[in-house]
Amino acid sequence: MASQSMPESRGLPARNDPEGLWNPYVAGVALGLVLFAAFFITGSGLGGSAGFARLAAFIQAAVAPGSADTSAYLAPMAGGGRNPLDNNMVWMTLGVIAGGFTSGWLGGRVKVETLKGRQIDRRTRWAMALLGGILMGLGARFARGCTSGQALSGGAALSVGSWAFMIMVFAGAYMLAYPLRKLWN
Amino acid sequence: MAPFSFSPATANVVAALIGFCFGFVLERGGFGNARNLAAQFYLYNMRVLKVMFTAIITAMVLICLASALGLLDFELLYVPPTHLWPGILGGLILGVGFIVGGYCPGTSLVSMATLKTDGTIFALGVVAGSLLFGPIVAIPAVWNFWNNSGDLGRLTWADVLGIDAGWIVLAVLVMAFGAFAAAEVCERIFSRPSERPTALAPKARLARRAGVGLAIGMALAAIAAGQPTIDRRVDWQRESLDARLASRQVHIDPGELLDLMHNNQIQLVLVDVRDESDFNRFHLADARNITLEDLAAGKPKEIDPKEIFVVMSNDEARAEQAWKRLAVRRGANAYVLAGGLNRWLDVFADNKANLPGPDSPVAGDDTPRHSFDGALGARHAASRPSPQRIAERPFQSKVKILTPVKAPGGGCG
């Protein structure tokens, strides 16, 4: 191993990644315009985790009817016979899926595959994706929003809590980036 | 003036369209691929930072400028409320989830939409995590932490620093451009020689300069125009405010006010805008003496949507001016005492019958018509008439008692 020279490419895409993606600053301006349009037209920004929270509330209410009425957390979404999916954030979630599919389809990026680093197998990647998703679901509920609703939307509106949140997201990820480098590189 | 309100069905369509653009741009930006996202944390591909911060500053500058020009009412925007400690803990958990799983909720949707197995599994994990939060937050100590720890409400940097939002926008722009420059350097240092970024084409260099210049220029324009004061907002909304006053839908009868004063289920705020000398001679129990200038300067500082404001002067003219300054505030539920304190005293001190109802305006010159033996303040019998007297003035209730449903934490829904 020691005699091997450093590999020329790594597990993760280099900066000049030829995938037909937009330049990051161009994509950023486009995303900023969508975010501004959301604020300007509807008065609130974008949301990524609200749809998940409502789907979870829907499942909870379906599996254990009546449980939502006694939960102070679920009652506003699913209590008193409310349908937690009857909310415009659910529609935004559906829109995100449709928009993501359209862009990927036009760019030839729709295909069944598992995206992972080179040093782990697919099963490990799947397990890590599940674990990461669970943490993300929990964290987003604790923070009352995720990278979309808090970091992007609250950040653009100069919300103090959103900026604190954003710094912590980067802090949490950088903290574990080195110990977990085998997952990705 | 934006933002606009829609019927529920239209709001769903609008949300779906915005979501479509959101998903499209995320995918085009490379955010449907966990490998692009994770690369951020190994310093040789700072795409995530660039896209996110460019998006934030683009929207931030546009919001600030639109607000300064009176195109967008910032007071009506949903700014995620600051729950400092749950936000910090949640952010940390989220960051860990990010490096472990490679996505965040929004990007996992895009990944799932392009059929990535890992993204789909991640999305299922988010649903599971959201489900798990229910029983966890049901623990009283966690519930208390989640709701009350560092609960600072709607709080922006402009509120904290007490300066015009334009200056903060300018400072954030400078910080962001610095971060971009640092990101470029980082990529150069941590790249393999073969992957080292090439020099920027002249066209791209020009576009970069133009973008930076445009953003700084817009921030300076926003600073020059200034964020709207209360009086400027009154001016912008003059037509609709005057229409509401003319319709008399916000003028409440003395009888209704007395009923509210004896209702211990509500938070009533009595705002007396007369001179201090008039106020000292006679005022209602628990009334606060706030001048028009104080109202224009943003007093009271916090307005709770659960509070019911009733503004009064001797007649109505000054109270109506004060009402406008309250009505443009976010979440304000404000009313005018019809006929002012002159009519109030006619009813409850002089016991006059056949007085006009709340829908007939008074033309008085806003001077007191009653005299008192010295400065009685709230020690007069009519400062707080007994509840038995409510029956003397039958009224049609106009006050809307709001019980705001607290948004069940999340996204920006």
Contact B84, A164 (CB under 8 A): yes
Read off the tokens for B244. Answer: 């509401």
Say what the pLDDT of residue A78 is: 85
Q: Please tell me whether residues B200 and B326 are part of one structural domain.
A: no
Lowest-confidence pick of A29-43, B30-44, B268-282: B30-44
Is B200 an 8 Å CB contact of chain A? Answer: no
Residue B152: is it exposed, middle or buried by C-beta count within 10 angstroms (0-12/13-18/19+)?
middle
Q: Is A162 an 8 Å CB contact of chain B?
A: yes
Interface test with A, best of B4, B10, B13, B27 (most A CBs within 10 A): B27
Its domain, for residue B268, covers: 233-392
pLDDT value at position B173?
97
Whether A53 contacts A142, CB under 8 Å: no
Structural domain count of chain B: 2
Tell which of B172, B198, B228 closes a domain: B228
- The arithmetic mean of pLDDT across residues B190-217, rounded, is 87
pLDDT at B403: 59
**pLDDT on residue A173:** 94
Which of A6-15, A43-52, A112-121, B135-144 bottoms out in mean pLDDT, i.e. has the lowest? A6-15
Say yes or no to pLDDT of A55 above 50: yes
Residue A72 pLDDT class (50, 70, 90 cuts): confident
Last residue of a domain, one of B182, B202, B228: B228
Q: What is the mean pLDDT of residues B84-93?
A: 96
In a shared domain, residues B81 and B217:
yes
Q: Is residue B63 situated within a structural domain?
A: yes
Same domain, B242 and B191: no
- With beta carbons under 8 A apart, name residues in chain B contacting A107: 27-28
> What was the pLDDT predicted at B315?
93
Same domain, B38 and B153: yes
CA dist A153 and A160 (Å) reads: 12
pLDDT tens digits for B142-171? 999 999 999 998 999 998 998 999 999 999
Q: Please report the residues numbered 35 through 54 in chain B whose beta carbons come closer than 8 angstroms to any beta carbon of chain A.
A: 35-36, 38-42, 44-47, 50-54
B189 and B239 belong to one structural domain: no
Q: Could you tell me if B149 and B106 lie in one domain?
A: yes
A146 in B contact zone (CB under 8 Å): yes
In a domain, B397, yes or no: no
Weakest-pLDDT range from A10-14, B112-116, B224-228, B345-349: A10-14
Say what the pLDDT of residue A11 is: 63
Least confident among B162-166, B196-200, B223-227, B236-240: B196-200
B82 contacts on A by Cβ (under 8 Å): 159-162, 164
Average pLDDT value over all residues in chain B? 91
Q: What is the pLDDT of residues A133-157, one digit of tens each?
A: 999 999 999 999 999 999 999 999 9
Shared domain check, B244 and B221: no
Residue at B277 is within a domain: yes
Where a domain ends, among B188, B207, B228? Answer: B228
Q: Is residue B410 part of a domain?
A: no
| pLDDT above 60 for A18 | no
* Dist CA B299 CA B293 (whole Å): 9
Report if residue B266 sits inside a domain. Answer: yes
pLDDT at residue B406, as a whole number: 42
- Mean pLDDT computed over A64-68: 81
Whether B194 is in a domain gets the answer: yes
How far is it, in rounded angstroms, from Cα B74 to Cα B248? 27
- Which DSSP letter does residue B72 get? B
Same domain, yes or no: B258 and B240: yes
3-state secondary structure (DSSP) of residue B15: helix
Half-sphere exposure of B166 (CA within 13 A, CB side): 19
Q: What pLDDT sits at residue B190? A: 86
Does residue A69 surpass a pLDDT of 90? no
Same-domain check for residues B151 and B247: no
The structure tokens 């009505």 sit at: B327
Q: Considering the domain boundaries, does residue B407 fall inside one?
A: no
Query: Given CB atoms, is B161 within the 8 Å cutoff of chain A?
Result: no
What CATH number does the domain containing B269 carry? 3.40.250.10
Closest CA to B331 of B311, B301, B290: B301
Closest CB from B44, B92, B118 relative to A171? B92
Summarize the confidence of residues B263-275 as an average pLDDT. 93
Nearest-5° angle of CA A69, CA A70, CA A71? 95
What mean pLDDT comes out for the span B313-332?
Answer: 93
Task: Please tell me whether residues B203 and B240 are part of one structural domain.
Answer: no
Assigned token pair, B160: 């904290």
The count of CB pairs under 8 A between chains A and B is 653
Judged by CB atoms closer than 8 Å, whether chains meet at B24 and A52 is answered as no
Instruction: With respect to residue B408, please indicate whether it lies within any of the assigned structural domains.
Output: no
A96-111 residue pLDDT tens: 999 999 999 999 999 9
Mean pLDDT of B89-114: 95
Residues B208 and B249 in one domain: no
Q: Looking at the structure, do residues B349 and B201 belong to the same domain, yes or no?
A: no
Residue of A nearest to B67 (CA): A40
Q: Are B56 and A152 inside 8 Å of each other by CB?
A: yes
Chain A residue numbers with beta carbons less than 8 Å from the beta carbon of B16 are 91-92, 94-95, 98
Q: Which residues pair with B326 in a beta bridge?
A: none
Of chain B, the percentage scoring pLDDT greater than 70 comes to 97
Q: How confident is the model at residue B361 (pLDDT cuts 50, 70, 90)?
A: confident
